[in-house]
Chain A
């Protein structure tokens, strides 16, 4: 009976209940989005780094991958030494540079990766062929759109452009073999890939036998952290970073985001609690006479408390379920906005829906619903019966 009375109490003012539900749903949606953002970035970052299963990154000492233009020398020797380490199954070298392509009266600058196609972990081929020889070029759709070239066209690619002298270090004609999706560069950023030795050769002595990054894959069953420390022992000129290490560094950089998400989530939860408390307190005040009658005919305080707390739970529960739907829709919308940020990797996701996180958010809201019902239920159960009935009779 308390449950039925709670439902009926909420249905007594449908418009007011609907407005409150909407308010709670918005709070719940914000809370869910903040939880998705706070934990999603971390979870996604790990998946982002593991797209091709390379658990370790080796970068010039003191830097993060592509954090600067620093490179590692004697790359061939370094790769050979790393491959000798027990537990290492593959090493993917990457050299980064800017390349220029003349298109009619303008120049298109692209981020250029020198890779080894046998072990590369930077892109997936969408159309055409992969890199097969020193004249092959794989590009992304953004580059194709800007240059208006097509797969099969021959293009002139230059690197090492000096804007003052208007000279380039190296230039060669290559054929666009395929179109690819690059994992670690923005979808709108023109990006191309060629063979590593070709890019090293085009950069002159400054890039000879140099790489910007090595991605290392540990063999199945091997402890990635042990492999990382062994790589670190092989060369003191590099920083070997494990997935956990990279995540920790990124988390440190994203701490501001996480704090902001926590604050906004807490505020939305507090708003939800206040909304439910206010609505139920108003309802209890309006029904003071009825509650006094219930008490007079022998309804126990705990039944009154149950009834009022149930109202809070029903409100916050329905609000949370509606908020779940709203939160998922708004997360997709915000994701699209963030994905358009310059330089944002196309594969990176800020909002990751995880049932566990949704459960936490909904659980917090349910707890908030109970919390919100405590004050009005205490008020309702503590009403002086005779005095309230007297006031009602006079009213």
Chain B
């Protein structure tokens, strides 16, 4: 069976003054459908750069990247945007909810952009907020929610268009220990229900909960490239 994610010799450089920083140096690995992979490593090792490339918000200097059978390293800006909308779910460390919108509206946002009919959007919003345990908080603004609740809304938003892959960048980074554990439980449940997850984390418990760990250092994978 073809892996959901195929990464081959992926490289990304940043120009810094006169020189260049090699953020990724020929990274290769696969992720199977339904897997939960944690990418770990010290700060500056290229984890977030890799996540950005996987999420089609950045383009590699070299190598190839295939997700759900689509070469995303060759997509135009418009095609990459459409790919992110329908195939990728993003969860950020700092939640990044729209402060002026309610929890329900934040979850509805990607579906509205995908032009889903209003009825379908609203029933999906209820379903997702119920899934993350926030059905009663649908009308609340982000400022009226705790950090854990905001992150759960962000996860519901990421799942709105039924993505093929959920990408999370330090999802417990802004949460206290107890809330972090709740978040790990939620990720566990998501994965059990079939969601493929790649998470970048410094959180040892989150990494331990994942099915596989990819260890990175200095822009390269040092352990866990293969399942």
The reply on A290 being an interface residue by CB < 8 A is yes
> Nearest Cβ distance between residue B53 and chain A, in whole angstroms?
9
The reply on A278 being an interface residue by CB < 8 A is no
The reply on B98 being an interface residue by CB < 8 A is yes
- CA A132 to CA B94, docked complex, whole Å: 93
Query: How would residues 37 to 74 of chain B score, 1 for a CB under 8 Å from any chain A CB and 0 otherwise?
Result: 00000000000110010010110000000000000000
B36 partner residues in chain A, CB cutoff 8 A: none
Contact of B57 among A5, A299, A385 (CB under 8 A): A385
Stretch at the interface among A7-15, A22-30, A117-125, A139-147: A7-15
A297 partner residues in chain B, CB cutoff 8 A: 84-85, 90, 109-110, 157-158
Whether the pair A293, B92 counts as a contact (CB closer than 8 A) is yes
Contact of A386 among B57, B82, B93 (CB under 8 A): B57
Whether the pair B58, A298 counts as a contact (CB closer than 8 A) is no
> Nearest Cβ distance between residue A263 and chain B, in whole angstroms?
41
- CA A301 to CA B93, docked complex, whole Å: 24
A289 partner residues in chain B, CB cutoff 8 A: 96
* Contact A392 B94, CB 8 Å, known A1-B112, A295-B81, A386-B52: yes
Contact of A390 among B48, B81, B114, B158 (CB under 8 A): B48
The reply on A389 being an interface residue by CB < 8 A is yes
- CA A11 to CA B101, docked complex, whole Å: 12
> Nearest Cβ distance between residue A381 and chain B, in whole angstroms?
10
Whether the pair A300, B100 counts as a contact (CB closer than 8 A) is no
Whether the pair B113, A1 counts as a contact (CB closer than 8 A) is yes
Query: How would residues 298 to 321 of chain A score, 1 for a CB under 8 Å from any chain B CB and 0 otherwise?
Result: 111101000000000000000000
A393 partner residues in chain B, CB cutoff 8 A: 93-94
* Contact A300 B93, CB 8 Å, known A12-B100, A385-B57, A386-B57: no
**27 residue pairs bridging A and B, Cβ less than 8 Å apart:** A1-B109, A1-B112, A4-B101, A8-B100, A9-B100, A12-B100, A290-B98, A293-B92, A294-B109, A295-B57, A296-B57, A296-B84, A297-B85, A297-B109, A297-B157, A298-B81, A298-B88, A298-B110, A299-B113, A300-B82, A301-B78, A385-B52, A385-B58, A386-B52, A389-B52, A392-B96, A393-B93
Closest to B93 in A: A393
Residue total for A at the interface (Cβ-Cβ under 8 A):
25
Whether the pair B58, A386 counts as a contact (CB closer than 8 A) is yes
- CA A301 to CA B99, docked complex, whole Å: 20
Residue total for B at the interface (Cβ-Cβ under 8 A):
34
Q: Main secondary structure on chain B at its contact with chain A?
A: helix
Contact of B82 among A290, A295, A298 (CB under 8 A): A298
Whether the pair B92, A389 counts as a contact (CB closer than 8 A) is yes
B55 partner residues in chain A, CB cutoff 8 A: 296
* Contact A300 B113, CB 8 Å, known A8-B100, A389-B92: yes
Closest to B161 in A: A298
Whether the pair A11, B93 counts as a contact (CB closer than 8 A) is no
A293 partner residues in chain B, CB cutoff 8 A: 92, 96, 98
Closest to B100 in A: A8
Closest to A387 in B: B58
A300 partner residues in chain B, CB cutoff 8 A: 78, 81-82, 85, 113
- CA A390 to CA B94, docked complex, whole Å: 11
- CA A293 to CA B57, docked complex, whole Å: 10
B101 partner residues in chain A, CB cutoff 8 A: 4-5, 8
Contact of B113 among A9, A290, A303, A389 (CB under 8 A): A303
B98 partner residues in chain A, CB cutoff 8 A: 5, 290, 293-294
Whether the pair A296, B90 counts as a contact (CB closer than 8 A) is yes
Closest to A390 in B: B48
Closest to A395 in B: B94
Whether the pair A298, B52 counts as a contact (CB closer than 8 A) is no
- CA A128 to CA B110, docked complex, whole Å: 79
> Nearest Cβ distance between residue B68 and chain A, in whole angstroms?
15
B84 partner residues in chain A, CB cutoff 8 A: 296-298
> Nearest Cβ distance between residue A130 and chain B, in whole angstroms?
71
- CA A1 to CA B93, docked complex, whole Å: 25
Which 3 pairs of residues, A with B, have the shortest CB-CB distance?
A298-B85, A8-B100, A298-B84
Q: Among residues 91 to 124 in chain B, which have CB atoms less than 8 Å away from a CB atom of chain A?
A: 92-94, 96, 98-101, 105, 108-110, 112-114
- CA A315 to CA B49, docked complex, whole Å: 39
The reply on B77 being an interface residue by CB < 8 A is yes
Q: Among residues 110 to 145 in chain B, which have CB atoms less than 8 Å away from a CB atom of chain A?
A: 110, 112-114
Known: A1-B113, A297-B85. 10 other contacts (CB 8 A): A8-B100, A297-B84, A297-B157, A297-B158, A298-B81, A298-B86, A298-B113, A299-B109, A386-B49, A389-B92
- CA A299 to CA B81, docked complex, whole Å: 7
> Nearest Cβ distance between residue A85 and chain B, in whole angstroms?
73
> Nearest Cβ distance between residue A307 and chain B, in whole angstroms?
11
A8 partner residues in chain B, CB cutoff 8 A: 100-101
